[in-house]
Amino acid sequence: HIATLGTPLKRYHIAAVWRGENTQRGRYREFMQCDFDTIGTRSPAADIETALVIHDLFHAIGFERFRVRVNNRMVLTGLLETLGLAEKSAGVLRALDKLAKIGPEKVAQEMTETCGATEAQTRQVLELADIRGTRDEVLRQLEPLVAGSETGQEGVARLRDLAAGTAAAGVPEERL
């Protein structure tokens, strides 16, 4: 119904949802979830609004010390393009999802075994995952990793716009 509803379309929803997988410790079949989505626009304003909603919600319910973590999938996509792993992105993402659980060595091993990644390729992907610092430091570290990829460079630019927009709205740097 997008033609009737128009874009951008914003959708907000809080309700019980159910997992389509077996239950595990700490992962219940039924749980409450809050979704808010904006579709039909590529404007940085939509990303800025999403970050502001999350920030303002946590602040309104009384949290003082928190951090909203953001990313842009275009950055990883750009890196994978430069490394020749773009077609293997699903496998790389599956391996990266396990980083906190199994550590960088086993993630690198999984990327090698399931995606055919070389040691140099896995090192660069893990370098991306390990970037830390202030907003500006992180953005500076991302730029050389995606050099040569239009997609990656656009992802970094969108993150830069997001950082500038949330800063202009008064979000302290340590919260985003």
| Res 141: pLDDT | 96
| Res 176: pLDDT | 92
- Average the pLDDT over 42-57 and give the result: 94
DSSP class per residue in the chain: -HHHH-SSEEEEEEEEEE-SS--BTTB-SEEEEEEEEEES---HHHHHHHHHHHHHHHHHTT--S-------HHHHHHHHHHHT-GGGHHHHHHHHHTHHHHHHHHHHHHHHHHH---HHHHHHHHHHHT--SSHHHHHHHHHHHTTT-HHHHHHHHHHHHHHHHHHHTT--GGG-
pLDDT in tens, 76-129: 999 999 999 999 999 999 999 999 999 999 999 999 999 999 999 999 999 999
pLDDT in tens, 11-27: 888 999 988 877 778 78
pLDDT band for position 51 (50/70/90)?
very high
| Res 151: pLDDT | 97
